[in-house]
């Protein structure tokens, strides 16, 4: 008996940008005739790499391209990567929601997927009816589902709403029931996307505990997509990193997280050269410069403190303009969310603003951090790829290395009072 649960060979998925179809009847006929003859899609040859930071030069893009990996039975595989890397597309192909353009997939066992809120549920049916529906889809008999019913309802915490149509459920209730159904109806392979972020912290903890139980005690295989590196490190046994639709790394979960995080490092100083129109940002805000520097000394470290400054062009007048600095560590934990109010009487001007702040020494732990910037009227934007400049590393000057970072987000200098016997 093979020990491989999933084997992916040269998997590729091509999508057409813009409207559905190729644009002309002649192109549609050309693609149809190629498929009849068993030939490759003629437009797949011109598809470009899935890089969101570069303007598209083609109407076709490879969401996945030449992906190869194996998952052993009982493994918990963490799939990580930036937004748009191809993670969700990979899960949809594995779950047979969409078919691959090229390549092969071998799956040994039934797959239960939790990809989006409400996936696999009929909105007009009650929670109880949907449990039996999903079990039937997995090939289970009614008696088998009935035996699991109490566990599912108890885990999801929706007993009072079991006979209510799920269209009336909140998104949190939807997710709790959907996860409980997927986890307790005994599929050989459980596929879970970032949808768990909808649930509260307590429920997310329950889900991770259940996935550990499923893999360790029941020997089932789990595929887990998350931006939470702490969850990946604690739950998974293996990891793969996707980048622009391609497999960038494969190894243990700790190696994969380290590879992903090291690839995020970027300069802590950015200055835009050129016209305002070409500066990173959106239609209202254009980032002109960002700087993160030590308050003392020449290196950002635990004891140096941190000075940060952003300069931007505001092009939206007559609003209450503010800028919020959201500091996030590489485990996607928000360290703080704090900002400055620039105008209070809806008197913002079209022009250049400069805002600076500082953090005291002995505040941040060693590690890599990034700033998310949020401007007035919910103008949040990330700066990815070539413009991923709002990132810096805090060094541990005592150890001289960041390869072994002590737990915790902060590293305060605490003075202890000790009474000895």
pLDDT, one tens digit per residue, over 265-315 is 444 778 888 888 888 888 888 889 888 888 988 878 888 899 999 999 998
The maximal CA–CA distance of the chain, rounded, in angstroms, is 91
Q: How many CA atoms lie within 13 A of 384 on its CB side?
A: 14
pTM of the model: 0.64
Alpha-carbon dihedral angle through residues 158, 88, 388, 397, given to the nearest 10 degrees: 70
| Per-block mean pLDDT, blocks of 10 residues, the chain (421 long) | 85 73 62 69 55 54 90 92 85 88 89 72 89 81 88 88 89 82 82 69 78 83 84 88 91 87 62 86 86 86 90 89 87 87 88 93 88 76 47 73 69 80 87
For residues 144 and 136, give the distance between their C-alpha atoms in angstroms, rounded to a whole number. 10
- Domain covering 269-394 in this structure, CATH number: 2.70.50.60
User: What does the pLDDT read at residue 266?
Assistant: 46
Q: Tokens 């109010």 identify what position?
A: 341
User: What does the pLDDT read at residue 385?
Assistant: 35
Tally Cβ neighbours within 10 Å of residue 133: 16
- Could you state, in order of their start, the residue ranges of all structural domains in the chain? 4-11+66-262, 269-394
Tally Cβ neighbours within 10 Å of residue 399: 13
CATH topology of domain 4-11+66-262: Rossmann fold (3.40.50)
Residue 214's φ and ψ, nearest 5 degrees, are -60, -40
Tally Cβ neighbours within 10 Å of residue 156: 25
Tally Cβ neighbours within 10 Å of residue 356: 11
What contacts 309, CB < 8 A, 6 or more positions away?
289, 290, 291, 354, 355, 356, 357
pLDDT in tens, 93-146: 998 888 888 899 999 988 888 776 656 788 899 999 989 988 887 777 888 889
What contacts 165, CB < 8 A, 6 or more positions away?
123, 124, 125, 126
User: What does the pLDDT read at residue 267?
Assistant: 47
User: What does the pLDDT read at residue 53?
Assistant: 45
| 307 CB burial (10 A radius; 0-12, 13-18, 19+) | middle
Pair 363, 411: CB distance under 8 Å: yes
Shortest CA distance to 268 belongs to which of 296, 306, 302, 305?
A: 306
For residues 43 and 58, give the distance between their C-alpha atoms in angstroms, rounded to a whole number. 10
Q: Per this entry, what is the length of the chain?
A: 421
Pair 90, 67: CB distance under 8 Å: yes
For residues 6 and 110, give the distance between their C-alpha atoms in angstroms, rounded to a whole number. 11
User: What does the pLDDT read at residue 313?
Assistant: 92
The pair of three-digit structure tokens given for residue 316, joined into one six-digit string: 């939206």
The pair of three-digit structure tokens given for residue 115, joined into one six-digit string: 């990809």
């Amino acid at each position: 008996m093979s020990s491989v649960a999933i084997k992916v060979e040269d998997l590729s998925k091509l999508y057409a940008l813009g409207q559905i179809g190729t644009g002309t009847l002649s192109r549609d006929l050309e693609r149809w005739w190629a498929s009849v003859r068993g030939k490759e899609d003629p437009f797949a040859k011109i598809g470009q790499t899935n890089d969101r930071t570069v303007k598209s030069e083609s109407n076709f893009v490879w969401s996945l391209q030449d992906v190869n990996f194996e998952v052993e039975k009982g493994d918990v595989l963490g799939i990580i990567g930036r937004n748009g890397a191809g993670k969700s597309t990979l899960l949809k192909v594995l779950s047979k929601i969409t078919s691959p353009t090229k390549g092969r997939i071998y799956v040994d066992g039934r797959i239960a997927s939790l990809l989006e809120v409400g996936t696999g549920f009929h909105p007009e049916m009650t929670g109880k009816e949907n449990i039996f529906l999903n079990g039937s889809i997995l090939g289970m008999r009614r008696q088998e589902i009935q035996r699991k019913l109490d566990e599912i309802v108890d885990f999801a915490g929706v007993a009072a709403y079991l006979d209510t149509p799920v269209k009336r459920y909140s998104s949190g209730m939807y997710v709790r029931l959907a996860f409980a159904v997927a986890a307790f109806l005994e599929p050989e392979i459980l596929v879970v996307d970032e949808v768990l972020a909808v649930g509260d912290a307590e429920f997310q903890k329950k889900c991770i505990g259940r996935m550990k139980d499923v893999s360790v005690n029941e020997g089932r295989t789990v595929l887990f997509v998350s931006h939470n590196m702490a969850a990946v490190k604690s739950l998974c046994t293996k990891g793969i990193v996707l980048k622009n639709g391609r497999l960038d790394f494969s190894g243990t979960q700790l190696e994969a997280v380290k590879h992903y995080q090291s690839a995020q490092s970027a300069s802590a100083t950015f200055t835009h050269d050129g016209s305002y129109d070409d500066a990173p940002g959106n239609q209202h805000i254009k980032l002109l410069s960002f700087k993160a520097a030590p308050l003392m000394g020449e290196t950002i470290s635990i004891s140096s403190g941190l000075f940060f400054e952003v300069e931007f062009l505001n092009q939206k007048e007559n609003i209450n303009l503010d800028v919020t600095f959201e500091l996030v560590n590489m485990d996607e934990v928000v360290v703080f969310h704090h900002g400055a109010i620039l105008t209070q009487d809806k008197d913002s001007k079209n022009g250049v603003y400069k805002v600076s702040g500082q953090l005291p020494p002995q505040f941040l732990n060693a590690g890599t951090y990034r700033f998310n910037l949020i401007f007035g009227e919910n103008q949040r934007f990330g700066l990815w790829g070539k413009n991923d400049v709002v990132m810096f590393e805090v060094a541990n000057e005592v150890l001289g290395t960041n390869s072994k970072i002590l737990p915790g987000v902060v590293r305060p200098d605490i003075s202890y009072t000790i009474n000895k016997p």
